[in-house]
Structure 1
Amino acid sequence: MTQITFQNARGERLTIDVPDGSTVMQAAVSNGVDGIVAECGGSAMCATCHVYVDPKFADRLPAPDAVEDEMLNSTAAERRINSRLSCQLVITEALDGLVFLLPDHQT
């Protein structure tokens, strides 16, 4: 299991254990993380699972592919250099300790 942390816009944190191979979005939804809507269920079609990767951890993730990059232009909250779709981020041991900052709104 890998531990990841979600931090909402108010600074509240939730750290969860996630099985490797699942996505960050699946982990958020199955653990009731408020702020991840995930309307499309993880098919990179809605951008309602938008997160900001804590800049200290950005080098642990692969670059977004073309589909994710395009969808990041459709986020409700501001797109930043550290914006990602959590449905496209697969949990591995290399992500242990990663922190995801939640935007103040998804829709």
Structure 2
Amino acid sequence: MAKITYIEFGGTEHTVDVANGLTVMEGARDNNIPGIEADCGGACACSTCHVYVDAAWVAKMPPKEDMEADMLDFAYEPDPERSRLTCQIKVTDDLDGLIVHMPEKQI
């Protein structure tokens, strides 16, 4: 189980426990966190679960697969270092304390 903090664009923080094996997107969906739409349901076929990983966590994240990197081209204002699709980040104990920031909008 990992405690993950989702920060809305306006600054509102939501810290929730997310079970290992789920994705960061599923943690947001299951806890009704606004700002992550996940239109494709986690199939890496859209960019509506885009977040900016907190700078302190960038080096600790699992690497992006090519499909995720390609889909990030469609995200709103992607950042080459910090942007990730939450549907592609599996929760493990190593992600306990993860902080993600939502973009202004999802497209």
Distance 1:3 1:9 in 2: 20
Deviation, 1:60, is 1.4
Q: Does structure 1 residue 47 correspond to structure 2 residue 47?
A: yes
Aligned counterpart, 2:6 = 6
Aligned-partner SS, 1:74? coil
Displacement of 1:9 in angstroms is: 1.0
Structure 2 counterpart of 1:29, which letter? Answer: R
Distance 2:48 2:10 in 1: 19
Alignment of 1:1-107 (within 5 A): 1-75=1-75, 77-80=76-79, 81-107=81-107
How far the C-alpha of 1:31 sits from its partner, in A, is 0.5
Q: Name the CA distance, whole Å, in 2 between partners of 1:41 and 1:57.
A: 25
When the two structures are superposed, what TM-score results if normalisation uses the length of structure 1? 0.96
4+ runs deviating over 3 angstroms: none
Q: Give the TM-score normalised by structure 2.
A: 0.96
Give the whole-Å Cα distance in 2 for the aligned partners of 1:89 and 1:41.
Answer: 14
**Displacement after TM superposition at 1:11 (Å):** 1.0
Question: Structure 1: which 5+ residue stretches go unaligned?
Answer: none
Q: Which consecutive unaligned segments of at least 5 residues does structure 2 have?
A: none
Aligned length: 106
